[in-house]
Structure 1
């Protein structure tokens, strides 16, 4: 439906430095994105401006320089490290005589390559359709013509209108399917909340090592690679953390600065896992010199999706790449674990991460001193089956004093089975 120039593997990259910090992009990140898309960067054209030109984004002289670079390198596509308007894309394509795409197009293309599940493919297609719907006018030279010929005469509709109608219908169908998926996810979240199972979501800048950490913690084989957006499809795994009990880990899509709004909207169901999590493991590439900027960008996206208030535990990953950096835990002024320095690749510091998780999830544990009469042997056996008995002594009157420590969920199950008499037997420790 979208007839555009056939894209190739040779590309001219265009990066413009702006005075305003909010408009700036990172050239090295563009190169990583292009590499992740499987495209070869033939050359890079750079420049600087105070504001984008309304017609060509760059000046007319710079546009001619880009066109010359296209001819000199025999490039098939020009990739801008910025967001272009439909008219700017159209005008640049006329000057360069080849396809021109912007940063959003590039990210969408990578997402389309990475999506593996049916849901992921639907989300990417929805984002692409929403983005392309505003750019239909310059996709063909004949879009303004009406259908004609035998049996086709009359008012009719323009080809452009037909394409837009087909896109609207496809968007509607995809949205309906994704709404069903969202309802299924919501049912799963409600079930976990009823069972009082904590959800830990791994978030972070793309290529921070979330999937490697996820695989290490859950002994899974989720696809992980040293490239941007290696993971698109959300993955959930249940894991028993000993004293804490069962938890659910969620591996999520990586964030990036100026994440396209169409993607945020399309991945609403996926990002809800992040918003409803009990704790966010914010994974940060400790070896990246831009780690402070990346951390800020992730926090901005979290705020955009309504997850800014979810508690965070910072995980500074890839310390194996750094010299003289040992695994450690950083604590805040109240003595609560704030950050863990570790390597998911080598496993260094994994014990410290588990220690920090214990501390952050401790409120989910119950500690009780239970006074049981001799007739309650069955209840005593239940505690031992749960492996939660810390100590046991026999009183002079024959009663048993048992110190237990168990997950809140297991305590509520016992209350449900044995009723209020369990509360009568128990006393809170401390």
Structure 2
């Protein structure tokens, strides 16, 4: 009897590398690496080792210093099953060449890793075109990389998409391809703009937030739809719009792509049309994973990105999600050490600046905790705008005044 041949693809093993600059704390760099590990797992890899070095700034030749480089090279020599080394910042073309020469392994940076995930997640022609454009823009200045001597045919993380075709490593061909993709996107954007105009004057609400905070789960619960949602980064790329009715009030609800630290500039540019849903929204629901230890930093990232997309002030509701997963460590009465974020209870956070400076609510979209209160808050916010567009319906909402 012949032995059975396993068709299951073996997961790649990767090493993660980051530097800690003076403006980054130890805790922050660990959070960055945790996120990089999650990105790697989302792309189908297993992180097996982390390396961190404190430097004033990245080394121009190898990103890390010579001593740390030797340490990582030695580890890779001993552990021959390591497939790739992933760096938590965007590498320059020369750094990529130097590192590939030193390791004789595939070298990825955070940008390339995110692009790879986007390539996996793209489903519609619109998303695929946006991702392909970002990939070519990333590839163009890196055509002189030394990885032609590697086993390019075996694929893997970072090898998906335009990098697979030798003929397209010609600069002129890639520039022509970029030009064509931009034209294709403009046509798609015009079509989508027409679709948005045809939606009429209904109030538009957009779900925004860091990736993996539960936006799609929230949309599924509100719209009773089946938007793809799972515990992975960038589970959805395409903006999904659904008509929702809360009480007797209809409005449009859009689920947008999640933001992330160090989001590649190429992606921001390519996905501008997707982000138009944010620009054209009347109300923003900023969804936050309250159970994440770095949720305050995630709030800052989202607010900064929103400001870059659209400087206009819009009504916003902070939706602190995943209260069912929230945990904290209660301090002993005789403990005199300063309180930290881990010592704050949910009640403490509800009384903090986050809940006081703007409209906010604490819920669990998964367990529907506090969901009736959330729907009521959303209803009142939508009505304030609705009555300005349909004043003849004022009698339906006697307790609401237009702002």
Structure 1 pair 239–93 and aligned structure 2 pair: CA distance change class (3 A): same
Q: CA offset at residue 362 of structure 1?
A: 2.5
- 1:107 matched to 2:110: no
CA deviation vs aligned residue, 1:339-391 (integer Å, no higher than 9, x gap): 11100001111111111112212223549xxxxxxxxxxxxxxx9xxxx7xxx
Partner of 2:33: 27
Alignment of 1:308-323 (within 5 A): 309-322=313-326
Secondary structure of the 2:127 match is: helix
| Backbone CA RMSD of aligned residues | 3.1
CA deviation vs aligned residue, 1:294-344 (integer Å, no higher than 9, x gap): 000001111111255232111000001126748x99899xx9970111000
TM-score, normalization by structure 1: 0.75
Secondary structure of the 2:237 match is: coil
Partner of 1:421: none
Q: Is the 8 A contact 1:331 1:339 kept in 2?
A: no
Q: Give the distance between the partners of 1:40 and 1:69, measured in 2 at CA.
A: 16
Query: Could you tell me which of 37, 42, 45 is aligned with 2:48?
Result: 42
Q: Is the 8 A contact 2:143 2:169 kept in 1?
A: no
- 1:62 matched to 2:62: no
Task: Write out the 4+ residue segments of structure 1 that deviate beyond 3 Å after TM superposition.
Answer: 21-25, 139-142, 159-162, 323-326, 328-332, 364-367
Alignment of 1:203-282 (within 5 A): 203-243=208-248, 245-282=249-286
Q: Give the distance between the partners of 2:169 and 2:289, measured in 1 at CA.
A: 47
Query: Could you tell me which of 113, 120, 127 is aligned with 1:120?
Result: 127
Q: CA offset at residue 141 of structure 1?
A: 6.3
CA deviation vs aligned residue, 1:66-88 (integer Å, no higher than 9, x gap): 11121222211110011111100
Higher alpha-carbon Rg = 1
Aligned residues: 349
Q: Is the 8 A contact 1:16 1:48 kept in 2?
A: yes
Q: CA offset at residue 406 of structure 1?
A: 6.1
- 1:10 matched to 2:13: yes
Q: Is the 8 A contact 2:205 2:283 kept in 1?
A: yes
Higher share of residues assigned strand:
1
CA deviation vs aligned residue, 1:187-213 (integer Å, no higher than 9, x gap): 122233xx3201111110011000100
Structure 2 residue runs without a partner (length 5+): 1-9, 150-165, 328-344
Partner of 1:404: 395
Q: CA offset at residue 21 of structure 1?
A: 3.6
Structure 1 pair 173–330 and aligned structure 2 pair: CA distance change class (3 A): farther
Partner of 1:285: 289
Structure 1 pair 260–131 and aligned structure 2 pair: CA distance change class (3 A): same
Structure 1 residue runs without a partner (length 5+): 1-6, 143-158, 368-382, 389-402, 408-427
Higher RCO (C-alpha under 8 Å, 6+ residues apart): 2
Q: CA offset at residue 102 of structure 1?
A: 0.6
Partner of 1:156: none
Structure 1 pair 270–161 and aligned structure 2 pair: CA distance change class (3 A): closer
